[in-house]
Amino acid sequence: MTTTEISGEKRGFLATALIAIGRVAVSLFVPIVAFVVLWAGFIFLRDSNAPQGIIAAVAIVWGVGGVALLFWVTDWVVNRTSVTVAKKLQPFVFVGPALAILAWYLFIPTLRSLYLSFFDAQSNNFVGLANYIFAFTDSKMIESFTNNLLWLILGTGGAVGFGLLIALLADRVKMEKFFKSIIFMPMAISFVGAGVIWRFIYAYKPAGEDQIGLLNAVVTFFGGEPQAWFTMPVWNNVFLIAILVWLQTGYAMVIISSALKGVPSSIIEAGRIDGAGELRIIRSIIIPYIASTLVTVSTTIIIITLKIFDIVFTMTNGNYGTEVIASMQYKQMFRFYHYGRGSAIAIVLVLAVIPVMWYNLRQFSKREGF
């Protein structure tokens, strides 16, 4: 393989067109053949009565082996063609399957959702902006926007704030690794699992009975009345957000912590010599130095909060005023089967991440060498 195109070569229009068709064909070949082979396999497996474990094992070998084999086969086919043609088709053996799958699963769906968002529940009649009017004026939708904003501010603020605090503190002690591992561990736990863990903490029993939820036990220990936390308007959102903070603080901490290691100790020493106290050094030297890391971490968590679904779905199912955008979208799709509204809400979510997308692209185009 060379990475330079053969220049000065004269090609007719027909040849150019054939190469273009070949590129598309190569891109689609692996995914489509893989798909058909796998599909046939699945029909076969579904109709057989083998034990669960064997079906699972066969499915795994089939799926993974099939994809690897088909890469190899396309490459073989491309190499049967003439050298010049093979050279032009070769890159698409590698990037083609990925592009085809991305097109099917993310790129085209964005356009299709946009299209569907202008139609009614069954996508039969054009309804103009009605779904968007619903998305921005329905009382449940407004509730979910407000809640998502709360998630965004408290969830991101909490996770980044605690992450920064712990990273700064752990940087100064001997058992840094141990402390960080514990804080980091919830990252491995699913939102559903965390939901169960925290439902138990928030569990409620009427006053006078022995509380089994930790939070109510603490409240009653100090002489308070036990509360059904999930039904307290507005505050219940905060209790749900606490779960996200518990899960995501570790992520913020790890990234911030590695940025802290990159702050040159000479600058900090210079600050000390000038008589700055510890807090002053953190505020005036360390924080400005790691500002770009803080932005990246915040952005990532902001996107997580915008899409938050699992926690709300398992904890309250959006009841008691805890609805969020993603849970509304799920309900429109699977409870009301209103594809128009569901699509419109999904488009709203995409609009919300466009500033981040724009920022990423700008950062990327600044990088040299592409």
Partner 1 sequence: MTTLAKKKKHNWNIVVNIILIVLVIIWSIPIIGLLISSVRPQDDVLNTGWWRIFAGEGNFTLNNYRRVLGGSQSTFTDAAGNVLRASGDNLSQAFINSFTVTIPAVIIPILIAAAAAFGFAWMIFPGRKIFFTIVVALLVVPLQIALIPILRDYMKLGLTGSYLGIWLAHTGFGLPLGIYLLYNYISTIPRDVFESAFLDGARPMVVFARLVLPLSVPAIASLGIFQFLWVWNDLLVALVFLGGTSDVAVLTQRLANMVGSRGQDWHLLTAGAFVVMVVPVLVFFALQRYFVQGLMAGSVKG
- Of these, 29, 93, 159, 240, which contacts partner 1 (CB under 8 A)? 93
Scan for tokens 């779960």, then name that residue. Answer: 243
The residue among 240 and 254 lying less far from partner 1, judged by its C-beta, is: 254
Q: Which of residues 145-174 bind partner 1 (CB under 8 A)?
A: 162, 166, 169-170, 172-173
User: Quick check: 39 binds partner 1 (CB under 8 A)?
Assistant: yes
Listed residue (253, 236, 245, 360) closest to 304, CA to CA: 245
What is the per-residue DSSP string for 230-244?
Answer: GGSTTHHHHHHHHHH
How far apart are alpha carbons 198 and 210 in whole angstroms? 18
Q: Which of residues 182-211 bind partner 1 (CB under 8 A)?
A: 182-201, 203, 210-211
- Of these, 98, 133, 142, 207, which contacts partner 1 (CB under 8 A)? 98
Listed residue (250, 357, 245) closest to 308, CA to CA: 245
Q: Which of residues 297-356 bind partner 1 (CB under 8 A)?
A: 297, 299-300, 303-304, 306-307, 309-310, 313-314, 326, 329-330, 333-334, 339, 342-343, 345-347, 349-350, 353, 356
Among 48-56, 145-153, 230-238, 279-287, which window interacts with partner 1 (CB under 8 A)?
48-56
Q: How far is the CB of 237 from partner 1 (least distance, A)?
A: 19
How far apart are alpha carbons 281 and 80 in whole angstroms? 66
Are the C-beta atoms of residues 247 and 155 closer than 8 Å to each other? no
Q: How far is the CB of 364 from partner 1 (least distance, A)?
A: 5
What is the per-residue DSSP string for 270-286?
Answer: HHHHTT--HHHHIIIII
Backbone dihedral region for residue 87 (phi beyond 0: left; psi -120 to 50: alpha; all else: beta): alpha
User: Quick check: 229 binds partner 1 (CB under 8 A)?
Assistant: no
Q: Which of residues 52-91 bind partner 1 (CB under 8 A)?
A: 52-53, 55-56, 59-60, 63-64, 67-68, 71-72, 75, 79, 88, 90-91
Q: How far is the CB of 287 from partner 1 (least distance, A)?
A: 18
Give the phi and the psi of residue 123 in degrees, each rounded to 5. Answer: 65, 30
How far apart are alpha carbons 46 and 41 in whole angstroms? 9
Q: How far is the CB of 315 from partner 1 (least distance, A)?
A: 8
Q: How far is the CB of 352 from partner 1 (least distance, A)?
A: 8
How far apart are alpha carbons 89 and 201 in whole angstroms? 59
- Of these, 25, 28, 32, 94, which contacts partner 1 (CB under 8 A)? 94
